[in-house]
Copies of this chain bind each other. A is one copy, B any other.
Amino acid sequence: MHKTGRRPPATFDPALTIMQTIDFQTEPSRYRHWRIECDGDVAYLIMDVDQAGGLTEGYELKLNSYDLGVDIELNDAVQRLRFEHPEVRAVVIKSGKDNVFCAGANIRMLGKSTHGHKVNFCKFTNETRLAIEDASENSKQTYVCAINGNAAGGGYELALATDHIMLVDDRRSAVALPETPLLAVLPGTGGLTRVTDKRKVRRDRADVFCSIEEGIRGAKAVEWRLVDEVVPNSKWKETVAARAKEIAARSDRPTNAKGIALTPLDRKIAGDRVSYSHVDVEVDRARGLVTITVRGPAQAVPASVEAAHALGAKFWPLTVARELEDAILHLRANEAAIGVVLLRTDGNAQAVLEHDDFLAKADGDWLMREIRHYLKRVLKRVDVTPRSFIALIEPGSCFAGTLAELAFAADRSLMLVGTREGDNRKPAAITLGQANFGCYPMGNGLTRLATRFLGEPDTISNAKSKIGEPIEGEAAAELGLVTAAYEDFDWDDELRVMLEERTSFSPDAMTGMEANLRFAGPETMETKIFGRLTAWQNWIFQRPNAIGEQGALKLYGSGVSPTFAKERV
C-alpha cells in the first residue's frame, strides 16, 4: 500500500529519527489530510488532518497539527489548483474539524526530529506559504483563510500567507503565535516576518502578541491588524462564501478554460540513481557529489498554444520544472550527506530558446503564465538549497535561456574552452535569451544576472546585446558569465581539485557562506524569511534552552517545566 508522502524505507539507520525516504509526489486521491471542494470559481481547501497519518511513528497529529507529510499534500494541492483548476479564482483555506483551525507544526515531531529534519521541514513549509502568495499575486487565484477555531503557531502562519484572513467571533477562536512562551522557539515559518512586514503590526503589539499563549481574538485581532475581519458565528458560512465570491470576481483568470492534469512523474529510482524523462540524478556517495543532468526538449515547439495545452504535463518546460523540482526536494530530504551538486545540461540550445520564446509570446495564456511562474519557483528552490551548486558547461550542453539560469543560480560555473579530444561536437556555449532578463526574479526581486552584476550595470546591457548568440568559453569568461574557463587539457584536474576542496570544507560553513553570498542587494519579505528569520530559528534549534534535555521543545507535554540557562546572547 502506498502511503502519502512515504516510500518504503531506502536505508535504515537506527541513529536517525527520520529514516524513511521522503517522497514529495502525491495526488488528491491519496491525500489523508486535505480535501479540495470546488464550488464554481471558488475552491475550499479543507484541512482535516488524520492524526494517525504522521510521516513517521511516535507522534499523533492531533488538533490539525502537521508534519512534513501534511505539508507535502498542501503543496500538491496549491500546485494542482493552479494547473488543474483554471476556473478557480479564490481559494478558501478552512478546517474540517470543529473548534480548531490548526495547532501548527506537531511539537512531538519537532522534539524527536534531527536538527537537519527540522530545518528542512521549515524550509519546505516556508516555500509552500510563498507558493500560496505567488498564486494570489501572479495567478489571481487568491487565497482567503477562514479561521473557524483556534489558529496557533504554524496554523496562524498558514493564515498569514493568505490575502484575506477571516476569524469567527465565537468568543473562543483566536489567532496566536505561542512558540516563544510555550516552546522557546520562534514562529519561524514566516510568522515574525509576516506579522511585521506584511500585516505591518506595530512592533510592540507584535511583541505582546508573540508572548501570549492564548492569542488574540475578536475586535482586538482586527484592530491590531492580525486578521482582516471577524464574523459572528451565526453568519460565518455565508459571509465566508460571499467574501470568496467577491474576491473571485476581481480575478483576471479566463472563463471556460480547461485545466491540464499533472500526471504522475515518469520517475525511476534504482540504487544511487533517480531518472526522470528529462532529468537524471546520479549520486556519487564516496565523493559526496551528485550530478543532476537536465535534458533540453526532444521535440520542436508545439504548433500552437492549443497544441501545448494538449501536451499538458508532457510539454517540455512543465515537464522539466516538475522533474527538477522533485530532484531538488529529494536531495534536500534524502541525501543530507551530499554537499556538492554538479549541474549539467544536455541538448539543443536553440530548442530551449524556442520554447522560451513560445512561452513569452503566449504569455496572455493562463497555462503559459503558470508554467513561467512555476519555473521561477523551482529556480528559487535552487537558490535556497543548502548545497554547493557547480554548473559544468561542456560540449553538448544547452545552457540557454531558462536553462542558463541554472548556471547563474550556481555558486560557481566552469566552462570548457574549445572541444574535447575525440568529441566532434561544437564547443560549449552559453546562450542568453530574453528569459534571463526578467522572467525569473530571485527572492530579492532582482534577476540572477542583475544580482550577479550588481557592481557593473554596464555588463548587463552588454550581455543583453548578445541575446541569441552562442557565447563560447573565453568570451563567456570575459563577459563575466562563468567563473572560470579551462581547456580540455586542464579540465579534469581543475575540477577534481575544486571538488576535493569543496567537499573537505565544513558543511555548516558552506551553508552559511552560500546563504550570504547568493543574496547580494536588496532584501524582501521573502529573503528576510529565509535569511534573518530562518537563521535565527536555526540558531535557536541548536540551543540547549530549546533542544537540551531540560529544553522547552523536549519537555513540551511532559508536565515538567523547562529549565533555562539565563545568559542572554
Is there contact, CB below 8 Å, between B545 and A509? Answer: yes
CB-CB under 8 A for A543 and B545, given A203-B411, A455-B199, A520-B203: no
Is there contact, CB below 8 Å, between A517 and B196? Answer: yes
Residues of the B chain whose Cβ atoms lie less than 8 Å from the Cβ of A528: 523, 531
Is there contact, CB below 8 Å, between B569 and A540? Answer: no
Is there contact, CB below 8 Å, between A203 and B517? Answer: yes
Residues of the B chain whose Cβ atoms lie less than 8 Å from the Cβ of A235: none
Is there contact, CB below 8 Å, between B455 and A516? Answer: no
Q: A9: CB under 8 A from chain B?
A: no
- Which of B180, B201, B412, B565 is close to A455, meaning CB atoms less than 8 Å apart? B201
Residues of the B chain whose Cβ atoms lie less than 8 Å from the Cβ of A543: 506, 508, 542
Is there contact, CB below 8 Å, between B192 and A386? Answer: no
A205–B453 CA distance with the chains assembled, in angstroms? 11
Residues of the B chain whose Cβ atoms lie less than 8 Å from the Cβ of A545: 506-509
Q: A126: CB under 8 A from chain B?
A: no
A518–B508 CA distance with the chains assembled, in angstroms? 27
- 6 new A-B contacts, CB < 8 A, other than A203-B411, A515-B536, A542-B542, are A180-B510, A197-B521, A205-B483, A387-B568, A507-B564, A522-B522
A464–B104 CA distance with the chains assembled, in angstroms? 41
Give chain B nearest CB distance to A274 CB in angstroms: 18
- Which of B197, B204, B546 is close to A411, meaning CB atoms less than 8 Å apart? B204
Q: A538: CB under 8 A from chain B?
A: yes
Q: A463: CB under 8 A from chain B?
A: no
Which residue in chain B gives the minimum CB-CB distance to A185?
Answer: B509
Is there contact, CB below 8 Å, between A412 and B207? Answer: yes
- Which of B116, B452, B509 is close to A180, meaning CB atoms less than 8 Å apart? B509
Which residue in chain B gives the minimum CB-CB distance to A515?
Answer: B536
A116–B565 CA distance with the chains assembled, in angstroms? 12
Is there contact, CB below 8 Å, between A522 and B520? Answer: no
Q: A567: CB under 8 A from chain B?
A: yes
A416–B184 CA distance with the chains assembled, in angstroms? 31
Binding site for B on A (CB under 8 A): 115-116, 119-120, 179-181, 183-186, 192-193, 195-197, 199-208, 210-211, 225, 288, 336-339, 386-387, 410-413, 451-456, 480, 482-483, 501-502, 505-523, 527-528, 531-533, 535-540, 542-543, 545-546, 552, 562, 564-569
Is there contact, CB below 8 Å, between A203 and B536? Answer: no
Residues of the B chain whose Cβ atoms lie less than 8 Å from the Cβ of A339: 566, 568
- Which of B186, B502, B522, B562 is close to A516, meaning CB atoms less than 8 Å apart? B186
CB-CB under 8 A for A512 and B186, given A539-B539, A567-B507: yes
A455–B198 CA distance with the chains assembled, in angstroms? 9
A501–B212 CA distance with the chains assembled, in angstroms? 10
Give chain B nearest CB distance to A476 CB in angstroms: 12
A-B contact pairs, 24 of them (CB 8 A): A180-B509, A184-B509, A196-B454, A200-B456, A202-B455, A203-B451, A203-B517, A203-B520, A207-B411, A211-B502, A336-B566, A337-B566, A337-B567, A338-B568, A507-B564, A511-B569, A512-B537, A516-B533, A523-B523, A523-B527, A523-B532, A535-B538, A538-B539, A542-B543
Is there contact, CB below 8 Å, between B564 and A506? Answer: yes
Is there contact, CB below 8 Å, between A180 and B513? Answer: yes
Residues of the B chain whose Cβ atoms lie less than 8 Å from the Cβ of A569: 115-116, 119-120, 336, 386, 507-508, 511, 538
Q: Which of A208, A452, A512, A539 has the most CB of B within 10 A?
A: A512
Residues of the B chain whose Cβ atoms lie less than 8 Å from the Cβ of A116: 567-569
Q: Which of A186, A508, A518 has the most CB of B within 10 A?
A: A508
Is there contact, CB below 8 Å, between B567 and A184? Answer: no
- Which of B119, B207, B412 is close to A517, meaning CB atoms less than 8 Å apart? B207
Residues of the B chain whose Cβ atoms lie less than 8 Å from the Cβ of A565: 507
Is there contact, CB below 8 Å, between A516 and B180? Answer: no
A318–B207 CA distance with the chains assembled, in angstroms? 31
Give chain B nearest CB distance to A140 CB in angstroms: 24
